[in-house]
Chain A
Amino acid sequence: MDALLLSRLQFAFTIAFHIIFPSFTIGLASYLAVLEGLWLITRNAAFKTLYLFWLKVFAISFGMGVVTGVVMSYELGSNWSAFSAAAAPVIGPLLAFEVLTAFFMEASFLGIMLFGWKKVGPGLHFVATCLVAVGTLISAFWIVSANSWMQHPTGFGHTTSGGLIATDWWAVIFSPTFPTRFAHMVLAAYLTTALVVGAASAWRLLRDSEEPEARIALRMAIGMLAIVAPLQLVAGDLSGKLLDRVQPAKLAAIEGFWETKARQDFHIVAWPDRAIAANRWELSVPGVGSLITTGQVDAVVKGLRDFKPQDRPPAFLVFWAFRVMVGLGVAMIGLGAWGVWLIARNRLDGARLFQMACIAMGPAGFVSVICGWIVAEVGRQPYVIYGVLRTADAVSPVGAGQVSASLLGFLTVYAIIFSVGVLYILRLIAEGPAAGADEPAPPIQRAPGSALAAAPGDAP
C-alpha cells in the first residue's frame, strides 16, 4: 500500500474515533448544565445525584475526546502537509479561533467543574458548567464551519503565485452549507446523548423500576428524543436538498443514480458498483427519486455517469452509510413517539419491552454520526477541498513505512483506550447514580484534585 492510502486510512480511523467523543460530550455538557440548573432551582436531590453521576461519565469521555483531538491538530501537518499549506490562508483562522474561543475555555472550566465544587460555591460552579457546555458548541461551530468550506468553498480567490487567499471572511465562515450542517451536527450530538442517557436509565429501571433518578432521566431522554429526532429529519433533509446544487456527485452516490434524468427512481436498497457504473441490483419506487432529493417530481437529477470515472466518489459506501443513518434516525423518531405514548398512558415505568428497545438503541447515535460523516467525507471524494484540491495532491512527502508504523500505533493505542474507556463507563452505569450518592456528599469530601470518577472504595 502507498503512503496516500495509508494516510487516508489513518485519518479516517483517527477522526472517526475522535468524533465519537465530541458527539457525546457536546450533548452531555448541555445535559449537565440543565441538570445543575434544575437542581439549583428545585433543590430536588435527584437532580444533583444525576449531575454528579453523569459528571463522572463526562470526565472519562471528555478526556478521551481531548487527547484524540490533540492528535488531529498535528496530523493535518504530519500526513496532509500539502493540504495544510494550501488551505491555511483560508481556514487557518477558523481552526485558530477554535483553539482560542473553545478549547481553553473548556479545559480551564472543566477543572472547576470536576474539582471545584466546594471552592467556588454553587452559582459559580453552575457558571463553569455552562461555560464548558458553550465551549463545546463553539468548538463544533468552528470545526463544522471549516469543514463546510472544504465541502463547498466560497469567499476565496487565487493569488498570482497560485495559492489560495480569502476574499470575504463572512462567506468563508458562513459558507452556504454551513448553517444546516451545523444544526445537523448539534442535533446529532443531542440525540446521541439522549439515547445513551435513555439506555442507561432503562437499564437501571429493568432492575429496579422505582429508582427515582432513572425515572426522571428516562423521561428527560424521551422528551429530548421526541422533539429533536423529528427536527433532525428536517435538518438532514434541508442539508441534503442543497446537494443537488453544491455536490451533485455526492447526491448521485447517496441515491445510487447513474443516469442523468428527470423522474429518477428512488432506490430503497441497491448495490451500486463503480466497476460497471450501475447498480448490480436495486429495489426501487419508480418516479419519486427526483421528488425526494429536490422536492420536484420533474427535476433533472445528475447521475454518476455524467462525471468522469476519476471524479466519482465510491458509491457503495456512501449509499449504504446514508441508509444506515436514515434508518436509525427513523428508529429514533419511533422510539421517541413510543416513549411519549407510554408516558401519556402512564405506563412507562413497567414497560419492559420499551426499556429493552431503549438499551438496544443506546449506541445508535454514535453509529449514525459516523455514518453521516462517512457520507459527508467519502461522498466528496476525490476532493479534499471540493473542486479545488484533490485528496491525492494533499498528502505529505512521507514514506509508506512511516505511515504504516504510525497507523499500527494508533490502532493499538486507540484499541486499548477505547475498550478500557467503554468498560469503565459501562461499569459506572452498572453501579448507577445511587452508588455515588452513598458517599457523603461526593466531591466535597474528596481531596481537591482527586479524579471525580473515582469509585467509592477506590480511595487509597
Chain B
Amino acid sequence: MNLDLPLIWAGIIAVAVLLYVLLDGFDLGVGILFPFARNRADRDVMIDTIAPVWDGNETWLVLGGGGLFAAFPRAYAALLPALYLPVILMLLALVLRGVAFEFRARGRTRGRPFWTAMFAGGSLVATFAQGLVLGGFIQGIALKDGVFAGGPFDWLTPYSLLVALGLVCGYALLGATWLVWRTETELHGDARRWAWATATGVAALLAAVSLATLFVHGRIAERWGFGAGGFDLASFAPLAPIPLLGLAGLAGVGLGLRRGSHGWPFVGALMVFVSGYAGLAAGFTPQIVPYAMDFRQAANQDNALGLMLAGVAVILPMILGYTAWVYWLFRGKVTPDAGYH
C-alpha cells in the first residue's frame, strides 16, 4: 500500500490547527470580552463556562507545534525563527492567562483584580500575537537554503496588524456567541450585544483583510481569479463555496441573534472561521513556508511519518471521542449558583 504520507500529514496538521483556532478561539474570546462584563459575578460565570475545557483546547496548539516539528521539521525550523518575537509574545501571554484560571480563584483583595486583568490582557495579547504570526505567515518568509534569512521584524507590517485586529475581533465573536449559547439572564443579553458588535466588526475586517490580501499578494489574487488579465471565472468558480460559506456563517450569526436563537450564532461564527481558514489555505497551498517551501520539501522521513500515522489512526479517534464526551458532560447553561445539577 502506497500512501502519500506528506499529503496525509499536511491534512492532519491543517485540521489540528483549525480545531485549535475554533476551540481555543472561543475561550480566548471570552477572555477578550472580560473587560466588558458588568461585574464580578458575570466574569465568574464567563470563566466557569470555559474552565473545564480550556486546557484541552490549548492542547491542540501543542499538537500544532509538536506535530509540525514531527511531520514537517524543516517548516518548523524555518517558521519559528522567522516569527520569533510574536511567537514568544504569544507564549508569554498564554502563560499569564493560563495560570489566571486558578490564581484568580485563589487571589484575595489584590490578587483577584490583578489576575482578572491578566486573564483579559493575556487573552487579548495572545490573540493579537497569533494574528501577527498569521499575517507574517501569509506575507511570506525569506529563506536561503531552507533556513530563515530575513530580519527580526519582517512580520511587522500594516497588513499583519490588520490581520491581527481581524483575529481579535473574530475570537471575540466566537467568545460572544459561545456565551450566548452557554449563559442566561442579563449576561446572556450582554453577550447578544457583544455578538452583534463583533459580528459587524468581523464582516468589515474580513472584507478588509480579503481585499488587502488580494491587493498585496499577487499570487494569492491569481489563485482567486484576479490575475493581471482581469477576472478569471474558471479560477474563481471552484473556490466560490469558501466565501459563500463565510457569508452563510455571517447570516447565521445575524439571523440567529435576531430570532433569539441560543445555538445558531455560535454555529454561524464557527462557519465564518472555517471559511476564513479555508480561504487562506486556498491562497498558499501547497506552500507550508510561504512562498519558499512546499509541504513535500518540508516533510519528515517517510518511516517517521508512517510510524506516527499508525499511532494517530488509533489515538486520534479516542481523543476526539473523549473530548466530545467532556463537552457533553459539561453541556447546558452555566449559572452563578449551583443551580443546574
Q: Which residues of A contact B (CB under 8 A)?
A: 59-60, 63-64, 66-71, 73-78, 81-82, 84-85, 87-90, 92-93, 95-101, 103-105, 107-112, 114-116, 118-120, 159, 163, 165-166, 169, 396-399, 401-402, 405-406, 409-410, 413-414, 416-417, 420-421, 424, 427-428, 444-455, 458, 460
A99-B62, A108-B326 given; name 7 further pairs at CB < 8 Å. A73-B65, A88-B304, A101-B311, A103-B63, A119-B341, A424-B107, A448-B48
B84: which of A64, A90, A406, A428 is its contact (CB, 8 Å)? Answer: A406
| A81 pairs with B78, CB closer than 8 A | yes
Would you give the shortest CB distance from A228 to chain B, in whole angstroms? Answer: 28
- CB B54 to nearest CB in A, in angstroms, measures 9
Q: Check: B91 CB closer than 8 A to any chain A CB.
A: yes
Q: Is the CB of B51 within 8 A of A406?
A: no
B40 within 8 Å of A (CB atoms): yes
Contact A460 B105 (CB under 8 A): no
Contact: B69 with A63, CB < 8 Å?
no
| Interchain CA distance A96-B79 in the complex, whole Å | 18
Least Cβ distance of A271 to chain B in Å?
38
Which chain B positions have C-beta within 8 A of A460? 40-41, 44, 336
- Which chain B residue has the least Cβ–Cβ distance from A90? B304
Q: List 27 A-B contacts (CB under 8 A).
A: A63-B101, A71-B95, A73-B65, A76-B69, A77-B76, A78-B87, A81-B78, A84-B73, A89-B304, A92-B73, A93-B70, A104-B63, A112-B329, A116-B52, A405-B85, A409-B88, A417-B99, A420-B99, A421-B99, A421-B103, A424-B111, A448-B341, A450-B48, A451-B101, A451-B102, A453-B106, A460-B44
B307 proximal to A (CB < 8 A): yes
How many Å lie between the Cα of A98 and that of B84 in the bound state? 24
CB-based closest 5 A-B pairs: A449-B48, A77-B80, A88-B73, A451-B105, A92-B70
Give the nearest-CB partner of B149 in chain A. Answer: A397
Q: Which of B66, B111, B326 has the most CB of A within 10 A?
A: B66
Inter-chain CA distance A406–B85, complex, in Å, is 7
Q: Map CB proximity to A onto B178-221 as digits: 1 under 8 Å, 0 otherwise.
A: 00000000000000000000000000000000000000000000
Interface membership of chain B positions 292-331, coded 1 if the CB is closer than 8 angstroms to chain A and 0 otherwise: 0000000011011001100110011001001100100110
Total chain B interface residues with beta-carbon distance under 8 A: 81
* A74 / chain B contacts, CB cutoff of 8 Å: 65, 80, 87, 91
Q: Do A92 and B71 have beta carbons less than 8 Å apart?
A: yes
- The answer to whether B80 and A413 have CB atoms under 8 Å apart is no
Q: What is the bound-complex CA distance between A99 and B71, given in angstroms?
A: 13
Are B62 and A69 in contact, with the CB atoms below 8 A? yes
Considering the chains assembled together, what is the distance between the CA atoms of A212 and B276 in angstroms?
A: 59
How far is B84's CA from A396's CA once the two chains are assembled, in angstroms? Answer: 10
Asked if B56 contacts A93 (CB within 8 A), the reply is: no
Complex: how many Å from CA A81 to CA B73? 9
- Residues in B with CB closer than 8 Å to A413 are 92, 95-96
Bound together, the chains give a CA A68 to CA B92 distance in angstroms of 9
Partner pick for A95 among B55, B70, B79, CB 8 A cutoff: B70
Given contacts A119-B341, A447-B44, contact A104 B56 (CB under 8 A): yes
